[in-house]
A = this chain, B = another copy of it.
Amino acid sequence: MELTKEQKAEIEIARSSSLKTRRPTVPMLEEILFEPIPVLDHGFVRVIDYMGDDAAVVQAARVSYGKGTKKISDDAGLINYLLRHRHTTPFEMCEIKYHVKLPIFVARQWIRHRTANVNEYSARYSVLDCEFYVPEEDDLAAQSSSNRQGRGNILSGKEAKRVLEILREDAQMTYDHYIEMLNESEEGNIIDVSKEGLARELARMNLTLSTYTQWYWKTDLHNLLNFLSLRADTHAQYEIRVYADAMMETLRRWCPITFQSFSDHRVEGVTFSGKAIKVVKKLISGVHINQEESGMSKREWRELMEVIGCSE
Contacts and interface: CB of A to CB of B under 8 A. Distances in A.
Interface string A290-312: 00000001011001000111100
A248 to B, nearest CB: 15
A245 interface: no
Contact of A117 (B25, B209, B220): B220
A251 interface: no
Contacts of A65: 3, 6-7, 10-11, 99
A95 B178 CA distance: 38
Count chain B CB atoms within 10 A of each CB in A22, A144, A285, A308 and give the residue with the most.
Answer: A22
A52 interface: yes
B208 A174 contact: yes
A182 B141 CA distance: 11
A99 B25 CA distance: 19
A163 B92 contact: no
A138 to B, nearest CB: 13
Interface in A167-211: 167, 170-171, 173-174, 177, 180-182, 184, 195-202, 204-210
A261 B64 CA distance: 34
A50 interface: yes
B133 A205 contact: yes
Contacts of A155: 196, 198
A225 interface: no
Contacts of A280: 280, 284, 308
B237 A63 contact: no
A244 interface: no
Nearest to A132: B205
B308 A281 contact: yes
Interface string A210-254: 100011101010000000001000010100000000000000000
A172 to B, nearest CB: 11
Given A66-B10, A85-B235, A180 B166 contact: yes
19 contacts: A18-B21, A19-B20, A19-B22, A49-B56, A63-B214, A108-B108, A108-B111, A111-B112, A124-B149, A141-B198, A152-B196, A166-B181, A208-B208, A265-B271, A269-B274, A269-B276, A270-B272, A272-B272, A284-B284
Interface of A: 3, 6-7, 9-11, 13-15, 17-25, 30, 33-34, 49-52, 56, 59-61, 63-67, 77, 80-81, 84-86, 89-90, 92-93, 95, 97, 99, 103-105, 107-108, 111-112, 114-115, 117-122, 124-125, 133, 135, 140-144, 148-153, 155, 159, 162-163, 166-167, 170-171, 173-174, 177, 180-182, 184, 195-202, 204-210, 214-216, 218, 220, 230, 235, 237, 263-265, 267-277, 280-281, 283-286, 297, 299-300, 303, 307-310
Can you list the 6 inter-chain pairs with the closest CB atoms, starting with the nearest? A268-B274, A10-B66, A142-B196, A92-B117, A51-B51, A205-B210
